[in-house]
Amino acid sequence: MVRNPGPDFESFGMPGVQGLIVGEAEAGRFYDALAAGTSPTYWRPEKAQLIDLETRLPAFLKTKAPAGSRLRKEPKAFRRQYLGIENAGQRVVFVHLFCETNRRDWTRKPITADGAADCYFQLHYDPTRRAFSDLRMK
């Protein structure tokens, strides 16, 4: 579990899941580093939305994660960084999944791809539609 991540961050956990909710003030910095882009608006995902996301994620990964990938075989080995982005009025949770931190403080910094190719993935989750999209290996 994440300990004392700071005022712009909130730890999130449930059985087999270690995550970090990135607040609005830091979401732009994270999104720029992780997705090489910007969003007009950022928001903080709620824990209830993430519980729903994480409850649905294993079934999604069984069919959509690359065959033979570590993400499909061992999704619990991945930590998560969650941030809310909004484009054209649609709010989605941007989820960055990673299995290596390379000794970086993942509770305050975006963890960019640096190491095993199948160790960094990203996806979007629409909490209104309760649907995933845009799964990609980073």
Better-scored residue on pLDDT, 76 or 51: 51
Q: What are 77-108's pLDDT values in tens digits?
A: 999 999 999 988 899 999 999 998 878 889 98
Q: How buried is residue 129: exposed, middle or buried, by Cβ count under 10 Å (0-12/13-18/19+)?
A: exposed
Ranges of each domain in the chain: 9-99+108-117
Q: What does the pLDDT look like over 9-45, one tens digit per residue?
A: 999 999 999 999 999 999 999 999 998 777 778 999 9
pTM exceeds 0.85: yes
pLDDT at 1 over 60: no
28 class by beta-carbon count within 10 Å (0-12 exposed, 13-18 middle, 19+ buried): middle
